[in-house]
Amino acid sequence: MKIIPVATLKKASKSIWLALGGALLLGWSVLIVSCATTTTDRQVVPPPGAVAGATYVGSDQCAACHDQKCKDFEGAVHSRLVAQGDNAKSVGCEACHGPGSKHVEAGGGKGTIINPKTSPEVCFQCHMDKRGQFRLAHSHPVMSGHMSCTDCHDVHNGPNAPVTGVQFANVAGNKVNAICAKCHSEQTQPHAFEHPAMREGCTFCHDPHGTVNAKMLKVRNQILCTQCHAQRQDLTGGVMIGNTRHTQSQLSAGACWSAGCHTAVHGSNVNYHLHSPL
Ligand code: HEC
Ligand code: HEC
Ligand code: HEC
Ligand code: HEC
Ligand code: HEC
Ligand code: HEC
Ligand code: HEC
């Protein structure tokens, strides 16, 4: 038996299967529901430690005692995960916490169900691509346990979560900025001269899961900037960026921010051209 993501999208008021094929294309593995009945020809990443002998009971069971968490969870992407098979159950909670029968039999308590705490392993079971990203040279220190996925993703909250809903991947950039602001106040504070690029959100330029480039930049050279600031030739053969003529020696001195020019790329308190104080 294997878990497949099934979506009952309330807003569209129809059932949609998050295609299993699509899921596998994106590199997700399939969660083993029962060790005895593993049937898949794909690579399977074993769940992190299971509680011996426990079986899946479905998220409904959890509501008896974790009422608020279950309410918050409504509409969350992960609440739509169900096990495949005749006795298909909604395994939303158990997708991450593992089978919960022993925990329920014991009337709750610690040690009878998996609490992933800061371990990203539980997420990597399905989001395998993220494991690779967090191993790149420039990434947030999740692998070392200094940070966790839940610092940025609130997995227990559905789309109505104030800012940190796991859904925030779908919301406008400025909400993402609010998450980054928790730890990066220097970049997110107001500046006398704002850089409108910030409205697009931090993730226009950075990939918080990690990249091969310094500072987790998505692009390591001036192309990062010329995506929005087109370069044009003027009549004398000079290069115009914005309303300013740039000389060849300026352009070959390095990236726009590392050549000593637009060093205040997140906003400047000195001037419009995003320079830093001397
Ligand atoms: C996408 C993975 C995921 C899903 C789905 C999930 N959890 Fe969690 N849960 C976690 C992680 C990670 C932690 C530890 C970090 C934290 O507390 O946020 C945790 C911690 C907990 C804790 C202990 C900490 C606390 O806040 O009391 C409880 C209880 C809990 N989850 C219950 C639930 C219930 C009930 C559901 C379903 C309504 C659920 N979880 C769904 C990942 C998940
Ligand atoms: C009969 C009540 C009850 C039911 C049903 C129940 N829980 Fe719990 N759960 C508790 C209690 C009590 C605790 C301990 C809380 C504490 O000590 O802070 C707990 C703790 C947890 C923890 C943290 C465990 C740890 O070691 O830190 C998780 C995760 C959790 N529950 C998930 C679930 C999930 C998922 C379900 C549904 C499959 C579920 N619970 C069903 C009562 C219940
Ligand atoms: C520093 C903050 C941060 C951390 C830590 C983080 N994420 Fe994300 N994640 C984001 C942001 C921001 C987005 C939205 C990306 C965008 O809008 O371009 C996102 C999007 C996602 C998405 C949906 C889009 C996609 O890229 O597939 C998944 C899945 C995801 N994260 C999983 C994880 C997992 C798993 C972990 C831990 C191993 C993790 N994230 C840790 C910030 C973070
Ligand atoms: C059992 C498999 C499974 C596990 C375990 C799992 N996820 Fe997911 N996750 C999914 C699926 C399936 C989706 C839906 C993708 C989609 O909607 O396209 C998803 C979507 C997401 C998204 C994007 C939400 C959005 O609104 O688009 C984020 C962020 C995310 N997961 C983070 C996590 C984190 C963090 C953990 C660990 C605490 C985790 N996931 C554990 C299967 C899983
Ligand atoms: C929970 C705190 C926290 C959150 C939230 C957070 N970060 Fe970070 N960030 C850190 C830590 C810790 C480092 C690593 C510093 C180190 O490794 O020296 C870091 C490093 C960085 C760096 C690289 C700095 C360097 O010198 O290479 C960038 C860029 C960055 N974060 C962007 C973001 C973005 C964008 C977001 C929002 C999507 C975000 N961060 C959310 C804590 C956080
Ligand atoms: C227009 C592109 C762009 C946007 C948008 C952007 N950044 Fe950056 N960020 C950069 C560049 C370029 C650097 C490298 C600067 C350097 O090396 O001097 C950088 C560096 C950083 C650093 C490392 C700072 C240091 O001193 O090492 C952090 C942290 C950071 N950004 C966080 C953020 C956050 C948080 C946001 C959103 C509020 C954000 N960035 C939005 C381009 C951007
Ligand atoms: C998402 C689009 C976007 C990206 C990416 C972007 N910018 Fe901007 N930037 C703008 C907008 C919009 C303005 C305000 C209108 C203008 O002056 O062109 C602006 C203004 C500026 C200004 C002030 C205008 C001037 O003539 O001095 C500078 C300097 C600047 N950006 C540098 C950069 C640098 C350096 C990068 C790359 C790290 C960058 N921008 C990336 C959108 C962007």
pLDDT at 175 over 60: yes
The answer to whether residue 230 is domain-embedded is yes
How would residue 75 be classed by pLDDT, with cut points 50, 70 and 90? confident
The answer to whether residue 227 is domain-embedded is yes
- 56 touches ligand 1 (CB under 6 Å): no
Taking residues 30-59, what's their average pLDDT? 52
Report the domain count for the chain. 2
Taking residues 113-132, what's their average pLDDT? 91
The answer to whether residue 90 is domain-embedded is yes
Q: Residue 47's pLDDT is what?
A: 45
One-character DSSP codes across 70-104: HHHHTT-GGGGEEE-STT--B-HHHHHH---HHHH
Q: Are residues 181 and 85 in the same domain?
A: no
Q: Residue 150's pLDDT is what?
A: 87
The answer to whether residue 152 is domain-embedded is no
pLDDT digits (tens, 9 = 90+) for 195-215: 999 988 899 999 999 999 999
Please, how many CA atoms are within 13 Å of residue 151, restricted to the half-sphere of its CB?
A: 17
How would residue 84 be classed by pLDDT, with cut points 50, 70 and 90? low
Classify each residue of 185-208 as buried b or exposed e, where b means 16 or more C-beta atoms within 10 Å of its C-beta: eebbeebeeebebbebbbbebbbb
Q: Higher-confidence residue: 29 or 180? A: 180
How would residue 179 be classed by pLDDT, with cut points 50, 70 and 90? confident
264 CA from centroid of ligand 5 (Å): 17
User: Closest Cα to residue 76, out of 8, 147, 151?
Assistant: 8
How would residue 76 be classed by pLDDT, with cut points 50, 70 and 90? confident
How would residue 177 be classed by pLDDT, with cut points 50, 70 and 90? confident
45-59, 97-111, 123-137, 199-213: range with lowest mean pLDDT: 45-59
Q: Higher-confidence residue: 76 or 242? A: 242
39-48, 55-64, 193-202: range with lowest mean pLDDT: 39-48
Encoded tokens for 188: 């997110």
90-99, 153-162, 226-235: range with lowest mean pLDDT: 153-162
- 114 touches ligand 4 (CB under 6 Å): no
Percent of the chain surpassing pLDDT 90: 42
Taking residues 34-50, what's their average pLDDT? 37
Q: Whose CA is nearest to atom 17 of ligand 3?
A: 169
- 197 touches ligand 4 (CB under 6 Å): no
| Domain C-terminal end among 76, 93, 118 | 118
Q: Are residues 34 and 110 in the same domain?
A: yes
The answer to whether residue 158 is domain-embedded is no
pLDDT at 162 over 80: no
The answer to whether residue 186 is domain-embedded is yes
- Whether 81 and 59 have beta carbons less than 8 Å apart is answered as no
Residue 158 to residue 164: CA distance in whole angstroms: 10
Compute the mean pLDDT over every residue in the chain, rounded to the nearest whole number. 77
Taking residues 67-92, what's their average pLDDT? 79
pLDDT at 187 over 90: yes
Residue 264 to residue 257: CA distance in whole angstroms: 7
The answer to whether residue 275 is domain-embedded is no
Q: Are residues 253 and 184 in the same domain?
A: yes
Taking residues 108-127, what's their average pLDDT? 90
Residue 93 to residue 101: CA distance in whole angstroms: 12
pLDDT at 248 over 90: no
Q: Are residues 182 and 114 in the same domain?
A: no
Provide the residue range defining the domain that includes 187.
172-268
pLDDT at 172 over 50: no
Q: Are residues 111 and 178 in the same domain?
A: no
| Domain C-terminal end among 72, 99, 118 | 118
| Domain C-terminal end among 99, 118, 137 | 118
95 CA from centroid of ligand 2 (Å): 14
Q: Higher-confidence residue: 39 or 105? A: 105
The answer to whether residue 216 is domain-embedded is yes
- 176 touches ligand 4 (CB under 6 Å): no
